[in-house]
Structure 1
């Protein structure tokens, strides 16, 4: 408690002065009356001393959660501005696909080339991607002075375009020397864990390789248990590491292995902080590992490009692994994403069975998924 003292010869004046300075609700503790003697005359004068309690100043309560939220918003905006965005070409909403094929956008094509473009558009292949891919299998028709297929079949034409514009990694063990670390990242629900163990099963059962699995997913209920069951079936070591130091020490103990496959927690591509946590756990090992982005074929084009944009902010993506091809009737994403982002493709998941339902992606397999055998 702090006290302020007022002095004067009129008590009421002193009280009014205190109220003026401290407000009307002042708390008077007490007052004293002293008599001052006069030097040249007999008698004395009353002098008052007023003791007033100073009001307590309420310090603002610091809400740390609110402060953190504001900081996160600021950082999110900064990150958003720095994302190297891959824009998704869009088809105008008011133009139907059949009208689009006949529009000026495709006026340079004719005959079977135009038919193939139409088929690709129906599979949600982006217009600019369809034009680019099909044109590789075309020659100039003398009669119409337009592009038409110069291959025996539309599949051959499509394959030429795929080989031209899409890069393929081949199997992960191709050309491997020494220990290879592969980390699987991607949004929730795309099947990272299941497909990681499909690949692990292939290496263990068919290639007789030494494989270890490390999971950094300590958030999802049952995730570690599911992975441990898979590992027990394959009789391979399984570890859990939720921070960088633990992950680094675990990897150092596995130097004699052929492969270390790292499973990460699924995070929304809009959640920068959580994706950043994955990067932090991987730590300095990030530079010595191969990063595989797992994306579901049933994603919309806009969503898939956004996933690449967001994850690319934190990781150098080495390849894309497509999942759930069996759950979509319009797999245009198989062309759109690798053509526009120029990121190589590696594997494709064709179902739920472990280890059967996964294949190495090749030009011919993309053609087959798009327009059949």
Structure 2
């Protein structure tokens, strides 16, 4: 018995070559696929290794596999490998329930938008669109982790995993503030703004808890929400638990004076009343109250992850007409299966991101956003 190895780029040609050299009575042990080294950004070609066992004369009386039957089995193995590694993309696209609301089957967007990608890159794009990531955003991010596949002349991933590819794109296109922390020795003021019901008060006190308990910082909280029944009482209760100063203020001058009294503190966190982004009059009132500290305040816009894309972009646009946004603070990630906003908003608006709220518990359910954390929420 002798084992011979044949190498080349076409599996069928290798089998035929083995048959010509050793005769029809050969036994295929197995085959391997090897990807050659990349050349710059070009993806290496796939090379096959075929392991063949020659048959002795004594063994010729035993039944042997027909070449046609063997080729069919090899083709079945290849097909099975492809099906297990790649999703049925065409089937997914053709199914309306798998399409996010911004893609329509009528205009062909679901099939034509990714025609320059192939393989694992196409799989990753399909996953992101399924999580409500806008197609153009998905393309921009995924392409950062791609190289040009020579065989197809299309873009495919050049990273070991899909998550690594997505992280590369996120690092390229999204800015992260990191944790709110004191670095330069100056007083830091953060005002939490946003629509009603997104969780501003709860998440403000998650930040306060981390700063007080973990960082040992001097923190004070000011609430300008004197409209909602019970809002001030809830905030004061949190402040009492943390044993930090709490103030309820509705006038710009008084706010300025209070901040002056707290100049020796490390952080001042300001809770504002929730207002519809279409209520210009009420947004103007919030701006008026904060106007005395406009250059000192970092405005943190809180956005719920269960918003639709169009609604979230409208919120950002309207609030930006009144405030200079320091960062986006995402809430209620636990209430959605399609958190595409984590990518869509920062990529399209170019605003930095800071934190994400993962539940209602104070202070546990809070994470600092990083490229790795963001990718995990999109890919699981």
Q: TM-score range by the shorter chain?
A: 0.7 to 0.9
- Tell me, in whole angstroms, the C-alpha distance in 2 between the residues paired with 1:321 and 1:95: 36
Q: CA deviation at 1:305?
A: 0.2
Q: CA deviation at 1:275?
A: 0.5
Report the TM-score when normalising by structure 1: 0.74
* Mapped contact 1:166–1:338 kept (Cα < 8 A): yes
Aligned to 1:243: 251
* Mapped contact 1:215–1:263 kept (Cα < 8 A): yes
- Give the paired residue count: 281
- Tell me, in whole angstroms, the C-alpha distance in 2 between the residues paired with 1:293 and 1:340: 15
- Tell me, in whole angstroms, the C-alpha distance in 2 between the residues paired with 1:95 and 1:256: 61
Does structure 1 residue 94 correspond to structure 2 residue 94? no
* Mapped contact 1:141–1:147 kept (Cα < 8 A): yes
Aligned to 1:332: 340
Match of 2:181 among 170, 173, 198: 173
> C-alpha offsets along residues 69-97 of structure 1, whole Å, 9 cap, x if unaligned?
xxxxxxxxxxxxxxxxxxxx98343349x
Aligned to 1:278: 286
Q: 1:295 is paired with a residue of what secondary structure? A: strand
Structure 1 vs Structure 2 CA RMSD: 1.4
Structure 1 residues not aligned, in runs of 5+? 1-88
Q: CA deviation at 1:102?
A: 2.9
> C-alpha offsets along residues 159-188 of structure 1, whole Å, 9 cap, x if unaligned?
000000000000110534221101000000
* Mapped contact 1:180–1:260 kept (Cα < 8 A): yes
Aligned to 2:201: 193
- Tell me, in whole angstroms, the C-alpha distance in 1 between the residues paired with 2:340 and 2:200: 21
- Tell me, in whole angstroms, the C-alpha distance in 1 between the residues paired with 2:336 and 2:286: 29
Report the TM-score when normalising by structure 2: 0.72
- Tell me, in whole angstroms, the C-alpha distance in 2 between the residues paired with 1:315 and 1:237: 26
- Tell me, in whole angstroms, the C-alpha distance in 1 between the residues paired with 2:280 and 2:169: 35
Match of 1:368 among 359, 376, 379: 376
> C-alpha offsets along residues 112-132 of structure 1, whole Å, 9 cap, x if unaligned?
101100000100000100110
Aligned to 1:352: 360
> C-alpha offsets along residues 215-264 of structure 1, whole Å, 9 cap, x if unaligned?
00000000000000000000000001101011011111101100000000
Aligned to 1:80: none
Aligned to 1:287: 295
Q: 2:210 is paired with a residue of what secondary structure? A: helix
> C-alpha offsets along residues 317-364 of structure 1, whole Å, 9 cap, x if unaligned?
010000000000000000000000000000000000000111110000
* Mapped contact 2:253–2:292 kept (Cα < 8 A): no
> C-alpha offsets along residues 285-344 of structure 1, whole Å, 9 cap, x if unaligned?
011111100000000000000000000000010100000000000000000000000000
Q: CA deviation at 1:283?
A: 1.4
Structure 2 residues not aligned, in runs of 5+? 1-99
Does structure 1 residue 221 correspond to structure 2 residue 229? yes
Q: 1:307 is paired with a residue of what secondary structure? A: helix
Does structure 1 residue 108 correspond to structure 2 residue 116? yes
Aligned to 1:54: none
Matching of residues 16-55 of structure 1 within 5 Å = none
Larger Rg: 1
Aligned to 2:97: none
Q: CA deviation at 1:156?
A: 0.4
Aligned to 1:134: 142
* Mapped contact 1:167–1:344 kept (Cα < 8 A): yes
* Mapped contact 1:137–1:160 kept (Cα < 8 A): yes
Q: 2:295 is paired with a residue of what secondary structure? A: helix
- Tell me, in whole angstroms, the C-alpha distance in 2 between the residues paired with 1:174 and 1:248: 21
Aligned to 2:169: 161
Q: 2:244 is paired with a residue of what secondary structure? A: coil
- Tell me, in whole angstroms, the C-alpha distance in 1 between the residues paired with 2:140 and 2:127: 14
- Tell me, in whole angstroms, the C-alpha distance in 1 between the residues paired with 2:186 and 2:203: 23
Q: 1:106 is paired with a residue of what secondary structure? A: coil
Q: 1:140 is paired with a residue of what secondary structure? A: strand
